[in-house]
Structure 1
Amino acid sequence: MSIILKVILGLMTGSFGFYYISDVLRNRKMFSGKPWSGLLVTGFITNFFDTLGIGSFAQQTAIFKFFKLVDDRLIPGTMNVGNTIPTVTQAFIFMTVVQVDPITLVSMSTAAPIGALLGAGIVSKMSRRRI
């Protein structure tokens, strides 16, 4: 079961990576002038702590807002897209090292992207003040 899930996850992440990179290259002129180093350091630190069981979204939101790295309206999408590849890497590591019941593994692997997709759609339609 784990092998099937890894293959599916790998294929989906590969297609995500292709569209992500092509979109970045196509729209790079629209990016803000903020340095990428702050975003990369934030992602590295928060995803490291996420691996230890401390969620990354609250930390990232606080850092984005404190250092004004990302406009408030773009924070949910930035986190969902920016954390995709690190989270999949974590998933591959944990599926290899930690034994998990297949039903739990499949249900969590299905719920996470559905929640991200639905959540981002809802939050993107909210007012800035409400976010």
Structure 2
Amino acid sequence: MQKTLIAAIIVINFIFICYFMRDLMRHKSDFMKEPASSVWTPISQIVIFFFSTFGISDFAISTAIYQKAKWVSMKKLPGTLNAQDVIPIFVMSLAYITSINVGTKTLLVCIICQVLGAYIGPRFVVRLPENSIRSLVIVGLLVATALIIAGKLGLITASGTATELFGWKLVVTGFLLFIYGALNNIGIGSFSLTMATVYAMGMDPIAAFPIMMGGCAFSLPIGSMQFIKLNQYSRKITLFSVFGIIGVLVAVLLVKNINTRVIQWIVIVVLLYSAYSLYLGNREAKLIKDKN
């Protein structure tokens, strides 16, 4: 069954790559004119997905960087966050699914539910005004921050041993993964939320990784193809996301030696600063609207 799952992940991601490259060729004359830096964007991808490999929200870190650097508009931010994740997460998913034991039924339910949420989400996201997207991203940043802090303070239990879910726990987890798949499309990353859910259900904490990466390996390509179709993403950032593979591979090599506690505190500061900056942007936009 594992081989079938891996084959399916490879197929869906190959379809995304073909879909993305076709769109890129259609816009080859202007996509390099997008504001993202041709030098710093590849470097940022290495850093972002280095942290992401440890379960630290790449959505949150990317939001902090892109909004400060003005590399992508708020309207196109959700689509960009999803599309840039596809290739690096594809690599991560293969690494985690082949090395960590999780019950096949549990993994399939979580993946299918997250895919359904991701497929439905983009149709609603593109209709939201920028201020609403900004407000939702702020909520996502604060939720991610709260979950990291809760884990560090021991408020979230991380001592379960189960590798499979049954009955109501499986139903509730599937429903929540459906919600998380939809939330991905408005720039609220699912990593921290999935970790918290896995902990709450009494599963082995390490089981969060194949569930997160497996779900995202399917849901991200499907959701991202919708954003590509709707022309609501940064082609340049998505193209340079291939450099994120370097960050993934470096993180995998260093995972046994790195002090993730220090990284988590740094990320908490970044998330709070990013949320505050977006709040100021919302307030400024409201003042301009009131004056007009």
Q: 1:51 to 1:8 in 2, by over 3 A?
A: same
* Partner residue in 2 for 1:98: 100
Q: For 1:1-40, list aligned pairs within 5 A.
A: 1-31=1-31, 32-40=34-42
Using the TM superposition, give the Cα deviation of residue 55 of structure 1 relative to its aligned residue in structure 2, in angstroms. 1.4
Q: Which runs of 5+ in 1 are unaligned?
A: none
Partners of 2:120 and 2:38 in 1: CA distance: 28
**1:22 positional shift:** 1.5
Preserved CA contact (<8 Å) 1:46 1:59: yes
Distance 1:124 1:62 in 2: 21
Task: Say what the alpha-carbon RMSD is for the aligned residues.
Answer: 1.6
Counterpart amino acid of residue 96 in structure 1: T
Q: Higher RCO, 1 or 2 (CA under 8 Å, sep at least 6)?
A: 2
Q: Given the alignment, which residue of 95, 109, 128 partners 1:126? A: 128
Match of 2:150 in 1: none
Paired residues of 2:35 and 2:71 also in contact (CA < 8 A): no
Taking the aligned partners of 2:121 and 2:17, their CA distance within structure 1 comes to 21
Is the contact made by 1:47 and 1:56 (CA closer than 8 Å) also made in structure 2?
yes
8 Å Cα contact 1:43/1:83 also seen in 2: no
Which one has a bigger Cα radius of gyration?
2
Equivalent in the alignment of 2:58: 56
Give 1:33 deviation, angstroms: 4.3
- SS in structure 1 of the partner of residue 130 of structure 2: coil
- The number of residues matched between the two structures is 131
For 1:124 and 1:40, the matched residues in 2 are separated by 27
Q: Encode CA deviations 1:65-122: one digit per residue, 9 max, x unaligned.
A: 0111111111110111111111111111101111111122212322333333333322
CA 1:106 to 1:126, structure 2 compared with 1: closer, same or farther past 3 Å? same
Farther off after superposition, 102-111 or 56-65: 102-111
Separation (CA, whole Å) in 1 of partners of 2:121 and 2:46:
23
| Structure 1 residues 122 and 40: CA distance shift in structure 2, 3 A | farther
What percentage of residue pairs aligned between the two structures are identical?
A: 26
DSSP-derived class of the 2:46 partner: helix
Q: Which residue of 2 aligns with 1:69?
A: 71
Change (3 A) 1:130 1:79: same
Task: State how far apart, in whole Å, the 2-side matches of 1:55 and 1:33 are.
Answer: 23
CA distance in 1, matches of 2:124, 2:65: 23
Runs of 5+ in structure 2 lacking a partner?
134-292
Aligned AA (1:97): S
| Residue of structure 2 in register with 1:88 after alignment | 90
Q: CA deviation at 1:42?
A: 2.5
Question: Using a 3 Å threshold, how does the CA distance of structure 1 residues 103 and 36 change in structure 2: closer, same or farther?
Answer: farther
